């Protein structure tokens, strides 16, 4: 079955290294918590809030083992008044045996506000 796995995290500053570090952490949490491997990923969409332009978050995935052939696209999030600032959002489309209820969507930092209903408070994330 093909499933979408969502994730979002925030950074403190519009700095290249922060964006790359948080993006690596986000994809790491998504693949670990859902037992997904790069070969099972069809593609990844990453969006950033309009205030993040220091680097392309997709760069973070290129150095990760097995991700060099996974298609990744970056885009800017719609600039809605009151939208979450300094936010990186990710949609991983992957083949998995997990049901929709079993999929673990990952939200960290201020991004937990986006979908508090999907945040598992008992399992801290690696977002740093």
Structural Rg of the chain based on CA atoms: 14
State the DSSP H helix or E strand holding residue 27, giving kind and residue range, or none if neither.
helix 16-34
| pLDDT digit string, tens, across residues 38-66 | 999 999 999 999 999 999 999 999 989 99
> Exactly one of 3, 69, 77, 101 is catalytic; which is it?
77
Give 127's pLDDT tier (boundaries 50, 70, 90): very low
> Exactly one of 3, 59, 74, 110 is catalytic; which is it?
74
Catalytic (active site) residue 62: yes
CATH T-level topology, domain 2-115? 60s Ribosomal Protein L30; Chain: A; (3.30.1330)
Catalytic (active site) residue 74: yes
Catalytic (active site) residue 24: no
> Exactly one of 6, 85, 101, 102 is catalytic; which is it?
6
> Exactly one of 15, 17, 102, 115 is catalytic; which is it?
115
Phi, psi of 116 (to 5 degrees): -60, -25
> Exactly one of 15, 17, 62, 95 is catalytic; which is it?
62
Catalytic (active site) residue 59: no
Catalytic (active site) residue 115: yes
| pLDDT digit string, tens, across residues 65-121 | 999 999 999 999 999 999 999 999 999 999 999 999 999 999 999 888 888 777 764
What is the residue-wise DSSP string for 31-82? HHHHT--GGGEEEEEEEE-TT--SS-TTHHHHTSTT-TTS-EEEEEPP--TT
Average pLDDT over residues 6-13: 97
């Amino acid at each position: 079955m093909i499933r979408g796995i969502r994730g979002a995290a925030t950074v403190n500053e519009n700095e290249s290294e922060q964006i790359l570090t948080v993006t690596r952490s986000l994809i790491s949490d998504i693949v670990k918590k859902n037992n997904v491997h790069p070969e099972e990923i069809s593609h990844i969409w990453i969006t950033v809030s309009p205030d993040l332009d220091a680097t392309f978050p997709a760069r973070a995935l290129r150095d990760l083992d097995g991700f060099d052939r996974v298609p990744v696209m970056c885009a800017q999030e719609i600039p809605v008044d009151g939208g979450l600032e300094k936010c990186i959002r990710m949609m991983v489309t992957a083949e998995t045996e997990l049901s929709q209820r079993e999929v673990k969507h990952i939200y960290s930092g201020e991004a937990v506000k986006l979908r508090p209903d999907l945040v598992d408070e008992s399992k801290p994330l690696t977002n740093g």
